[in-house]
């Protein structure tokens, strides 16, 4: 069971957004054989696991996170034989395949929901159906059962005349939530997970899994934020324990995506004694540029708050015996270089600094496709280029709020999930080597030939080369994989610093999150330690000095290993 700090700390995982990774058959959409064709590249990074986003049959309202059949492969991505070949070829290279399981909700096109619509009471109990408030009787919807808003904008409730009820959808209207209080639902989902385990899958990522247990009473939420009411619900821990035990996945790598979660719950999700999950994703560090907590209101990143979040979660999970999944990017988040770094003058330096910052922390690092070459946001000039349902919904919401088209597009340029979904940039060809046909989603408007795998494989100082060093060092030095973490005061909010210790081994990490120089305190006993890694050449702290001036976006690791 991959539970020990030593085991989890050495692991590095790589996320593939299948639709945008590599197209093998020229239809402009990535697929399973495309992944297989790139396994040598993935193995060359030094990673251990490959997490693949959903490739199950789906109407694609939410790009595959609206599943219509959990136990099949959507023909657009290939066949089950293609999947089996991928698993075999990955194993031959020492790589494990992780699947993305969406067990909080299904698509409206799933057979279960279709049977519910057809009047099958058994399957109506698979979903969360309620009468409306103020309803005068059958056929009268009344008002939604609560004021909850869904993640993509609008009410989280949809009136369905064929059911004579409102159904809950915490995400898109096409994604009705499953009712986990029903033992038959839990039985069916155990069977789903077990079936993929039996096909040779090595791990699972569970989508918004802390939303599976709803409150017993559906009351209005402040501001309509139903997620905060639903998150970490009353039975979520027992449901996860049951799933892990009955599906027989306790010895596999498991990670949960936790929406609007708490530190206390995440300790419990991941502490070995709980026998729930190995690690969790939380998103508090990626809300430091949300004005008033609103994703769609822009502001400069609050770096002091970022440090506070990293310290709270890093030291807090450590104290409780929990374990963090470390990440900046995924299929729902903008590119981190565009967000917290510099797209132009200090592109390379900022990309390396941001990578090093999380790869030396306590936890298991996740790399999102293209992050290892410093890919940038999409910067689409028109709404017609966007595909993401959330982005299209919020574009209209922003216009309805009085924003101009220019202002709405500027917001999408910073926040849209499509920023991370542009095709992987393998080479400098027209479509970046992703496909010979026009991709399903346009290339980033800031696609440059130096931001490609081909170009960076030839450059010993590339971002790609830096990522390979980070991965190798994590496996080489026990202090990185297992050491305790503590955060340091630097004298400026723009520089984040922390220390890792394991017995006599120690490292100290400095990260300048600004495009300006900053002077930091360097008065620790470690200041004379050798430089283990840096993103500027021939930099060294003065062992006698009490301060050190960091270059823009400078990253430095000192240590005795």
Q: Which sequence positions are flagged as catalytic?
A: 207, 257
Task: Retrieve residue 201's tokens.
Answer: 């899958």
The contacts of residue 227 (CB under 8 Å, 6+ apart) are 151, 170, 211, 259, 260
Phi and psi torsions of 9, nearest 5°: -70, -25
Which residue matches tokens 């409150």? 215
Q: Which of 234, 199, 201 is nearest to 216 (CA)?
A: 234
Q: What is the CA radius of gyration of the chain?
A: 24
Q: Side-chain half-sphere of 499: how many Cα atoms within 13 Å?
A: 19
Strands 165-168 and 129-130: antiparallel
d(CA 108, CA 60): 11
Phi and psi torsions of 129, nearest 5°: -115, 140
d(CA 499, CA 558): 9
The contacts of residue 507 (CB under 8 Å, 6+ apart) are 360, 477, 479, 480, 483, 499, 500, 532, 557, 558, 559, 560, 561
Task: Retrieve residue 477's tokens.
Answer: 């030095």
Q: Which of 301, 298, 290 is nearest to 514 (CA)?
A: 301
Which string of b and e fits 427-447 if b means at least 16 CB within 10 Å?
Answer: eeeebbbbbeeebbbbbbebb
Q: Side-chain half-sphere of 118: how many Cα atoms within 13 Å?
A: 10
d(CA 523, CA 49): 40
The contacts of residue 527 (CB under 8 Å, 6+ apart) are 541, 542, 543, 545, 548, 558
d(CA 302, CA 288): 5
């Amino acid at each position: 069971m991959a539970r020990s700090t030593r085991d989890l700390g050495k692991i590095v995982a790589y996320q593939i957004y299948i639709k945008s990774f590599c197209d093998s058959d020229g239809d402009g959409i990535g697929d399973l054989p495309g992944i297989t064709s790139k396994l040598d590249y993935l193995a060359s990074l030094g990673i251990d696991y490959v997490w693949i986003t959903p490739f199950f049959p789906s109407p694609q309202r939410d790009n595959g996170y609206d599943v219509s059949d959990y136990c099949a492969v959507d023909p657009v991505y290939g066949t089950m034989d293609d999947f089996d070949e991928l698993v075999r070829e990955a194993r031959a290279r020492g790589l494990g395949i992780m699947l993305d399981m969406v067990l909080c909700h299904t698509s409206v096109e799933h057979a279960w929901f279709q049977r519910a619509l057809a009047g099958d009471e058994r399957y109506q109990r698979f979903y969360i159906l309620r009468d409306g408030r103020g309803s005068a009787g059958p056929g009268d919807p009344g008002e939604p059962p609560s004021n909850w808003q869904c993640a993509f904008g609008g009410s989280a409730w949809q009136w369905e005349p064929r059911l004579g009820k409102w159904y809950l959808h915490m995400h898109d209207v096409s994604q009705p939530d499953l009712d986990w209080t029903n033992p038959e639902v839990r039985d069916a989902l155990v069977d789903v997970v077990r079936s993929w385990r039996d096909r040779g899958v090595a791990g699972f990522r569970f989508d918004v899994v802390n939303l599976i247990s709803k409150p017993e009473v559906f009351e209005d939420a402040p501001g309509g934020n139903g997620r905060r009411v639903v998150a970490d619900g009353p039975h979520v821990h027992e449901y996860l324990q049951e799933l892990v035990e009955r599906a027989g996945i306790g010895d596999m790598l498991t990670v949960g995506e936790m929406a609007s979660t708490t530190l206390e719950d995440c300790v419990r999700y991941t502490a070995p004694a709980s026998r729930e999950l190995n690690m969790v994703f939380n998103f508090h560090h990626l809300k430091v540029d949300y004005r008033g907590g609103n994703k769609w209101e822009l502001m400069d990143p609050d770096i002091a708050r970022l440090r506070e979040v990293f310290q709270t979660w890093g030291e807090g999970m450590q104290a409780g015996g929990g374990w963090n999944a470390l990440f900046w990017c995924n299929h729902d988040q903008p590119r981190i270089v565009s967000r917290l770094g510099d797209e132009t003058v200090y592109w390379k330096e900022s990309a390396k600094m941001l990578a090093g910052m999380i790869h030396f922390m306590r936890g298991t690092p996740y790399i999102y496709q293209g992050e290892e070459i410093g890919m940038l946001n999409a910067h689409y000039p028109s709404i017609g280029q966007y595909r993401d349902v959330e982005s299209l919904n919020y574009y209209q919401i922003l216009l309805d709020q009085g924003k101009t088209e220019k202002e709405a597009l500027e917001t999408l340029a910073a926040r849209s999930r499509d920023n991370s979904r542009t095709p992987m940039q393998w080479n400098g060809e027209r479509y970046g080597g992703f496909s010979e046909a026009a991709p399903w989603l346009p290339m980033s408007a800031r696609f440059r030939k130096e931001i490609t795998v081909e170009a960076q494989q030839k450059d010993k100082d590339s971002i790609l080369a830096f990522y390979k060093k980070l991965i190798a060092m994590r496996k080489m030095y026990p202090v990185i994989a297992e050491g305790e973490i503590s955060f340091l005061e630097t004298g400026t909010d723009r520089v984040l610093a922390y220390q890792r210790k394991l017995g006599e081994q120690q490292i100290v990490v400095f990260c300048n999150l600004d495009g300006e120089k900053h002077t930091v305190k360097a008065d620790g006993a470690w200041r004379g330690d050798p430089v283990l890694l840096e993103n500027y050449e021939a930099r060294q702290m003065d062992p006698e000095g009490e301060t050190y001036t960091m270059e823009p976006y400078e990253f430095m690791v000192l240590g005795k290993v």
